[in-house]
Amino acid sequence: MLPPALLHRAVPARLLLDPGCARWLSLSCPRQVMPAWVINCYGQNNVLQLASNMMLPFIRLPNEVIIRVHAASLNPIDVNMRSGYGATALNIRRDPLKIKTTGDEFPLTLGRDVSGVVMECGLSVSYFKPGDEVWAAIPPWKQGTLSEFVVASGNEVSFKPKSLSHTEAAALPYVGLTAWSAMNQIGGLNQNNCAGKRILILGASGGVGTFAIQLMKAWGAHVTAVCSRDAKSLVTKLGADDVIDYKSGDTEEQLKPLPLFDFILDNVGGSTEKWALNFLKRWSGATYVTLVTPFLLNMDRLGVADGMLQTGITMGTKAVKHLCKGVHYRWAFFTPSGVFLDEIAQLVDSGKMVHPAHAVNENAL
């Protein structure tokens, strides 16, 4: 963690306009650097270091905001990025036209989630103002949140739920937006069409899974959760109607007595794809969405052109194969969105969605 004195120190801020029209955050104390957890090369945990001399961020575009980080969190994508996962695609996203002679790859700050306070706003940002408490999930191609300050696009930011502390809020944006993307944007589910639908969630006790359970229950669906016995009380507390313990026997066999499903969210991947689609209602619009895709790995392994070609062939082949069997097969990815975070915040503040830690604590009483 960053030193608490740096994370919680209140300092006045002002803006300067440099010749390149970039707006710098200038603190009252005579410094232009901040602490951050960074990596300067890919590897294992030993490449992670606390740097005290990272340049303070500045606003490059008029729709950006600078957030003072009160709490940040790591996700599996951060751990994988530390080892170089997705580097090919993410570097292209950072500089698609290869304009820069030196890339922005290193030093790389990890961390996707942030909860904090707006310090400065770009000229076109009217929805937020300095002092607003906000949360956001920063895309993997941008510098992360394990730092004193972070820059985000205004459309990636939302007002923090009033019922959550900064620490609690920092655990939700990335997993919440990933689940929202899979179930709403890709899967087509929403509060108006979920009532009575049967949903199967594979890998239900992880961050995305626990969020997906609550989202589906808030929208009126029937949820079957697949997880380990240790997580049964958690997913039940979060609203799961049926719980399948994958450690107590073959998951496929345990699912056979149950009615078929309208939607399957796969957080596991691997061999599950070979049998999971058999549990969808055929020729009814039923959909299988997986978050475990070869997209980034293909580009790392084969390069940009061949990787994208291989990815397209794989996705197209599987989609057509399963469409011929009467079900939809789709891939989903994290999508940054302040608008969706607004909706998530409303669910949290209305009590329809709880922080998983709260459910664990209540179960322990």
192, containing H or E segment: none
Helix, strand or coil, per DSSP, at residue 97? coil
Q: Look at residues 170, 139, 147 and name the one whose alpha carbon lies nearest to residue 49.
A: 147
Six-digit token string for 284: 């009814």
The whole-angstrom separation of Cα 157 and Cα 349 is 17
26-41: average pLDDT: 80
Measure CA 284 to chain center.
30
- Contacts (Cβ under 8 Å, ≥6 apart) of 302: 310
Q: Say if residue 133's pLDDT is above 80.
A: yes
The whole-angstrom separation of Cα 248 and Cα 261 is 22
Q: Say if residue 326's pLDDT is above 80.
A: yes
Q: What letter would DSSP give residue 184?
A: I
Question: Torsion angle, CA of 261/263/267/273, rounded to 10 degrees?
Answer: 70
pLDDT tens for each residue of 142-191: 999 999 999 999 999 999 999 999 999 999 999 999 999 999 999 999 99
260-279: average pLDDT: 97
Q: Say if residue 9's pLDDT is above 80.
A: no
User: Is the dihedral angle over the CA atoms 176, 270, 298, 288 positive or is it negative?
Assistant: negative
| Domains assigned to the chain | 4-171 (3.90.180.10), 174-364 (3.40.50.720)
What is the pLDDT at residue 357?
A: 72
Phi, psi of 131 (to 5 degrees): 100, -15
Buried b (16+ CB within 10 A) or exposed e, 285-320: ebbbbbbebbbbbbbbeeeeeebeebbeeebeebee
Q: Residue for token digits 């949140």? A: 145
pLDDT band at 43 (very low <50, low <70, confident <90, very high): very high
pLDDT tens for each residue of 59-113: 999 999 999 999 999 999 999 999 999 999 999 998 877 656 455 689 999 999 9
User: Is the dihedral angle over the CA atoms 204, 208, 214, 218 positive or is it negative?
Assistant: negative
What is the pLDDT at residue 355?
A: 82
Phi, psi of 346 (to 5 degrees): -65, -40
4-8, 203-207, 238-242: least confident range: 4-8
Whole-number Cα distances in Å, 123 to 14, 151, 187, 290 = 14, 14, 36, 39
